[in-house]
A = this chain, B = another copy of it.
Amino acid sequence: MITELISVGTEILLGNIVNTNSAYLSEKCAELGLSVYYQGVVGDNEERMKLVIQTAIERSDVVILTGGLGPTEDDMTKEVTAGLLGLPLVEDAHTKERLEKYLKEYENNNAQRRITANNYKQALVPEGALILDNHNGTAPGLIIEKNGKTVVLLPGPPDEMKPLFEEEVFPYLRKKQPEVIYSQMVKICGIGESQVAEEVQDLIDKQTNPTIAPYAKIGEVHLRITAKGENEKECKKLIKPIVRELKERFGKNIFATDEDKSLEEAIVDMLKDQGLTLALAESCTGGEISARIVNVSGASDVFTHGFVTYSNRAKRKCLGVKKSTLKLEGAVSAKCAKEMARGGCYFSGADICLSITGLAGPGGGTKELPVGTVFMGCCYNSKVITQEYHFSGNRSKIREQATAHALALLRECIMEGISKKG
């Protein structure tokens, strides 16, 4: 079923708030197998709202509106929608009672807030609408069925919208779906977006069901394989040979086949499986790699120390980098990265230490050592390897890429170290 999401609110058009409702609803609709073809935002303006909602009702089967259900005159999502569908607004006794109870309680706790005549506007509903009780605010949710179209109206605040959607709208829409949609993610690191695209082009060219969609992230490419079928089992059966083919093509570069698994999670899992501990010695990334690892719940089992050695003195004192290395080769050098990694293992007692030192700019670059030059080291099984990279872009872009590539290198080193052990 073709679905359209419309957020109503001038505050979104002014950029005062980020529209997280649409991201949430899109993900839920994907889960339901609804095809969201359009998202839109319109301000609290009657004429423009009419235009946007009318278009949506014409071209989509399901229209989900959020916002504009409040008590003020600016709030007119319900009025405009009912008008377009030719439905009169009638007072709902149950909603009126709920409102009075809700506002009474609120009044007791908040001296500044009073029940106003405006509030009773929220007890008016389009005739025949299904009313969804809002336990976290005053505006009820509404589901309207007319001429084969489903229009859902939900309040704008995420704290009110999400429970209403999850508890009432989700099960309602699930019942309407004839077909099951199921998708699986294949996540790749260490290969660029366009190369991945080229290597799967033949599969995309001949695809019908399932389909493959690539998503480029910094330092990663995600491929979503989506199948439609009568049930989940049939979908999984359609997806299986594609995943097998992708595994053959991208091999070790695939770090996850799980929707929710991040690269740092894959790394933490590998470390846990092998009973290894990790330390990090960062200069130019300034703690970003550590922060990524710590973002994994349970990282404390494997991650012990992070050294952010931004000064030369810190590199010497915390990691034992030699004075002569810093003097002769400089802080941004393979030798410094090597000593940082070795020192990180030594001083932390961890099994593996990844080090990184580089020039994120904008200043400090020379012809021999341009901005974007980054050296990484990895010490494991008492061996140290180093690698040189050259990234482009501004300071934060260079650091972001360096972080992404450091995680990919770390993963590779753990895999190789393990294979050499075996």
Q: Identify the A interface with B (CB < 8 A).
A: 10-20, 22-30, 36-43, 45, 48, 52, 55, 70-74, 102, 105-106, 108-110, 112-114, 116-119, 135-137, 157, 159, 163, 190-195, 197-198, 201, 204, 213-216, 224, 280, 282, 284-291, 293-295, 297-300, 303-311, 313-314, 317-318, 347-349, 361-363, 388-397, 399-400
Contacts and interface: CB of A to CB of B under 8 A. Distances in A.
Contacts of A38: 13, 40-42, 48, 52
A20 B18 contact: yes
A303 B289 CA distance: 18
Shortest 3 CB-CB contacts between residues of A and residues of B: A286-B294, A306-B308, A287-B287
B290 A197 contact: no
Contact of A195 (B102, B114, B288): B114
Nearest to A107: B192
A286 B290 contact: yes
B314 A310 contact: no
B304 A313 contact: yes
Given A18-B18, A40-B38, A108-B390, A291 B294 contact: no
Max count, chain B CB within 10 A of own CB: residue among A117, A311, A395: A311
A308 B307 contact: yes
A105 B297 CA distance: 37
A393 B297 contact: no
Q: How many copies does the complex hold?
A: 2
B48 A37 contact: yes
29 contacts: A16-B224, A17-B23, A19-B39, A38-B42, A40-B41, A70-B194, A105-B390, A109-B389, A110-B389, A135-B392, A135-B394, A136-B394, A157-B216, A159-B397, A163-B394, A285-B294, A286-B291, A287-B290, A287-B308, A288-B291, A291-B291, A291-B399, A297-B361, A297-B362, A305-B308, A305-B309, A305-B311, A306-B306, A306-B307
A102 B392 contact: yes
A310 B157 CA distance: 29
A113 B19 contact: no
B297 A305 contact: no
A398 B310 CA distance: 26
A276 to B, nearest CB: 14
A191 B119 CA distance: 15
A23 B18 contact: yes
Contacts of A392: 102, 105-106, 135-136
Contacts of A71: 193-194, 197
Nearest to A41: B39
A15 B22 CA distance: 7
Nearest to A39: B41
A395 to B, nearest CB: 6
A30 B246 CA distance: 46
Max count, chain B CB within 10 A of own CB: residue among A118, A213, A280: A213
A320 to B, nearest CB: 14
Max count, chain B CB within 10 A of own CB: residue among A30, A191, A286, A295: A286
Contacts of A204: 73
Contact of A308 (B20, B40, B55, B308): B308
A39 B37 contact: no
B11 A215 contact: yes
Contact of A15 (B37, B102, B215): B215
B194 A118 contact: yes
Contacts of A42: 37-38
A212 to B, nearest CB: 10
A24 B15 contact: yes
